Chain A
Amino acid sequence: MQVTVKAYLFLRDSLGSDYIIVELPEDATVMELLRVLCRDYGIPEKLTIGSATLTLFGSHNKTDLTILVNGFNIRQLKGLSSILEEGDRVSIFPPAAGG
């Protein structure tokens, strides 16, 4: 199956283009997607932004990123274990606040 991935703000150039379409096995999770992004797209497991380090995925199903699937925050789904479906749109943000 295919999902669309788009990264924002400090991560916006990390995928090499505005958005990418990633091929994943059926029932792949967000965690598996992140592993593919590291393996095939050269994204480091630990991102350095300024003096901060962000972990893409760590133990206990945790990530330092804000990840949404079709506009729903995975924290309100099943975290990194959230199962993806064909055509899903995954949005990846570094922590951000303001407004």
Chain B
Amino acid sequence: MYGCHGKILRVNLNSGTAKKEDVPADDYKKYLGGAGLATRYLWDEVPAKADPLGEENKLIFMTGSLTGAVAPSTGRFSVVAKSPQTGIWGQANSGGRWGVDFKKSGYDGVIFEGISPHPVYLAVDDNKVEVKDASHLWGLNVPETTAAIKEEMGDKFNIACIGPGGENLVQYAAIMNDLGRAAGRCGLGAVMGSKKLKAIAVRGSKPLTIFDPDQFKAHSRKQYELMDDSMFKMSLQAFGTSVVLDLVSIRGGFPTKNWQTGIFEDAEDINGPAISDKILTKNVTCFACPIECGRGTEIREGKYAGHKGEGPEYETVGTFGGMCAVNDLEAITMAGYLCNDYGLDTISAGSTFAFAMECYEKGILTAEDTGGLELNFGNPDLIVDLVHLVARREGIGDLLAEGTKRMSEKLGQGSEAFAMHVKGLELPAYDSRAVQLTGLTYATANRGGDHITAYVQGPTFVDAPFLIVEESEIKDPFAADPDEVKIAVDLEDMLTSFDCIGACKFMGLCISAADWVELVNLATGWDYTLEEYKKAGERVYNLARAFCSREGLTPKDDTLPKRLLEDPLPEGPAEGQVNDLPVLLERYYHLRGWDRETGKPAAAKLKELGLEDVSDKLWS
């Protein structure tokens, strides 16, 4: 095989044994590798209604068909499992270098099954694969774990691991790699913790075999050259992902005080230029990336001065900053560092803290519940303290570790109305009341309240169209226009393919779909046309939806928090706006070919996508 090795590892944690197995070449092509291939294994192997933190769930790491090939930002990998947060399809994706180093071992991915009787880690040193005891590592944070394994195995090993967040089954625990990169969403760090799997350490020397290396190199070089002149590249490089913060805020869609308003008065204290001016020390780059949007930072002022690390990303600033109404960049940065060290998803963490603050503001949580801690909005030290408490499940942290949905279910008293999650996954830092189409994509994303399934914020919030779809221009952000629903569907399908091939979705802004298909074909020897490639993305999207349906998802779950549907934004350009979903959902189901009554992909659609066997099981 070209572009990939055609082999994966299967690790039985019950017995502590590992074996290698072949991946059917047809499956690799059909699902494009990465998240697509992993989703196929999930569908086939995890029984319906399995406990996400139980023995039947599987944790699947999978590199993409371009992971490790040198094209713009093609070093990513996906992790797939049934999510403890949502109870449906869970997927998280990460960059850095770990995915590339894993693939160098000669394996494209690894499936973990069962639960180890004691903490272990997997060590992969080319062909030598060992399940090793990790009892001495349990309790260590991410930097400590990384250092300890390197000490044992050698400095050339690259480590993906969980910290205390995953060990303590925090619902939104992340899997960390390269110290500061996170497969953050859907609580897959908790799945890893439930399996008593502390880390995967990998070192490899196997080169990747590219189908047409000369043509691939030439075509790839052309894309790098094209990006040299891209303003999107330059702005992301200079200001990081927070480059968008001002635009979002000025449009009145920067969620503030748990989405009570969309305007944060102190936005300029925490925006991209503030990060560059106050804490940036160097850009951090993922494999083969021409952008280098990662922020290498050091806190220089205040009580956290002297701490160094990676970030904050836009979403970290949006959740710990805007949602918690904290204008102290140093405290936000410290909270982000601690999430990296403990292994927590910053989006769900900051969002959950904001929810707790509003509960406290409304008297639903009291000082008695919090052990005397005052959960007030705008308190910089509080967000730092809460990260410690949540990761260790101490005091009120034990409740907050359950995430917004479960907290609201426990607390009741009307808190469900402002529990800002979809399907159990906390929403990111774009208020969808300011742009209707964003609301649709939150309601329909397979993994729940997620912004990068469709990444429609490019065209909706920041005036940045994607080159990977034919049309992505939004006419009126406040109009729920059914004719624009196709933009969401096309973006979902195309961006799904990025999680399969192992490329960064930001590259969809700068490089066309045709060029991506060309790169994939030259690397793998496949013969995808653009239409067939889009269909592959659609196939994976529908397979993930089928998994969600099988786990009990219905159309009533394709919705938004009551606040977004009923509480108008109180100020700013989007004043008076709420999300108008029904008209968009109708068209969405129609375009998707999904059954309106059950929400399942219709049998005809699954057949069209070559998923007849999935249809048989789903509709039997």
| Chain A contact residues, CB within 8 Å of chain B | 8-10, 12, 49-52, 54, 64, 66, 68, 70-73, 75-76, 91, 93-99
* Pair A73/B463 contact, Cβ less than 8 Å: yes
| A97: chain B residues within 8 A (beta carbon) | 232, 235-236, 243-244, 458, 462, 464, 506, 509
- Among B232, B235, B248, the most chain A Cβ lie within 10 Å of the Cβ of B235
Q: A51-B229, A98-B244 are in contact. Are A10 and B235 (CB under 8 A)?
A: yes
Number of interchain pairs (Cβ within 8 Å) = 106
Inter-chain CA distance A54–B251, complex, in Å, is 23
Identify which of B238, B430, B464 contacts A10 (C-beta below 8 A).
B238
B399 → chain A, closest Cβ, in Å?
30
| A95: chain B residues within 8 A (beta carbon) | 231-232, 235, 463-464
| A54: chain B residues within 8 A (beta carbon) | 231
Identify which of A52, A64, A72, A98 contacts B230 (C-beta below 8 A).
A52
> Is B167 an interface position by the 8 A CB rule?
no
Q: A97-B458, A98-B506 are in contact. Are A71 and B463 (CB under 8 A)?
A: no
12 A-B interface contacts by CB (under 8 A): A9-B238, A10-B238, A71-B573, A91-B246, A93-B247, A95-B232, A95-B235, A95-B464, A96-B464, A97-B509, A99-B429, A99-B457
| B235: chain A residues within 8 A (beta carbon) | 9-10, 94-98
Q: A9-B273, A54-B231, A95-B232 are in contact. Are A71 and B251 (CB under 8 A)?
A: yes
For B458, give the chain A residue with the smallest CB separation: A97
> Is B290 an interface position by the 8 A CB rule?
no
For B272, give the chain A residue with the smallest CB separation: A9
Inter-chain CA distance A64–B62, complex, in Å, is 40
A62 → chain B, closest Cβ, in Å?
13
For A96, give the chain B residue with the smallest CB separation: B235
Inter-chain CA distance A8–B463, complex, in Å, is 15
* Pair A96/B243 contact, Cβ less than 8 Å: yes
Identify which of A8, A9, A91, A98 contacts B241 (C-beta below 8 A).
A98
* Pair B250/A99 contact, Cβ less than 8 Å: no
- Among B229, B232, B234, B251, the most chain A Cβ lie within 10 Å of the Cβ of B234
> Is B178 an interface position by the 8 A CB rule?
no
How many residues on the B side are at the interface (Cβ–Cβ under 8 A)? 45
* Pair A98/B250 contact, Cβ less than 8 Å: no
Inter-chain CA distance A54–B232, complex, in Å, is 12
> Is B293 an interface position by the 8 A CB rule?
yes
* Pair A99/B462 contact, Cβ less than 8 Å: yes
* Pair B477/A99 contact, Cβ less than 8 Å: no
Identify which of B228, B238, B248, B573 contacts A99 (C-beta below 8 A).
B248
* Pair B315/A71 contact, Cβ less than 8 Å: no
Main secondary structure of the interface of B (DSSP, over half): helix
> Is B409 an interface position by the 8 A CB rule?
no
* Pair B573/A72 contact, Cβ less than 8 Å: yes
* Pair A99/B252 contact, Cβ less than 8 Å: no
Inter-chain CA distance A97–B247, complex, in Å, is 10
Identify which of A49, A70, A72, A76 contacts B234 (C-beta below 8 A).
A49
| B451: chain A residues within 8 A (beta carbon) | 99
* Pair A76/B230 contact, Cβ less than 8 Å: no
* Pair A96/B247 contact, Cβ less than 8 Å: yes
| B430: chain A residues within 8 A (beta carbon) | 99
> Is B314 an interface position by the 8 A CB rule?
yes
| A93: chain B residues within 8 A (beta carbon) | 246-247, 463
For B451, give the chain A residue with the smallest CB separation: A99
For B463, give the chain A residue with the smallest CB separation: A66
Identify which of A64, A72, A96 contacts B232 (C-beta below 8 A).
A96
* Pair A99/B251 contact, Cβ less than 8 Å: no
For A54, give the chain B residue with the smallest CB separation: B231
| B464: chain A residues within 8 A (beta carbon) | 95-97
> Is B6 an interface position by the 8 A CB rule?
no
* Pair B236/A71 contact, Cβ less than 8 Å: no
- Among B240, B251, B462, B475, the most chain A Cβ lie within 10 Å of the Cβ of B462
| A68: chain B residues within 8 A (beta carbon) | 247, 250-251
Question: Which 8 pairs, one residue from A and one from B, show the smallest C-beta to C-beta distance?
Answer: A71-B573, A97-B464, A96-B235, A99-B244, A95-B231, A98-B241, A66-B463, A99-B314
* Pair A96/B573 contact, Cβ less than 8 Å: no
> Is B61 an interface position by the 8 A CB rule?
no
For A73, give the chain B residue with the smallest CB separation: B463
A92 → chain B, closest Cβ, in Å?
11
> Is B476 an interface position by the 8 A CB rule?
yes
* Pair A99/B241 contact, Cβ less than 8 Å: yes
Inter-chain CA distance A66–B251, complex, in Å, is 12
A80 → chain B, closest Cβ, in Å?
14
B223 → chain A, closest Cβ, in Å?
15
| A70: chain B residues within 8 A (beta carbon) | 573
B270 → chain A, closest Cβ, in Å?
14
Q: CB-CB contacts of B152-174 with A at 8 A, as 1s and 0s?
A: 00000000000000000000000
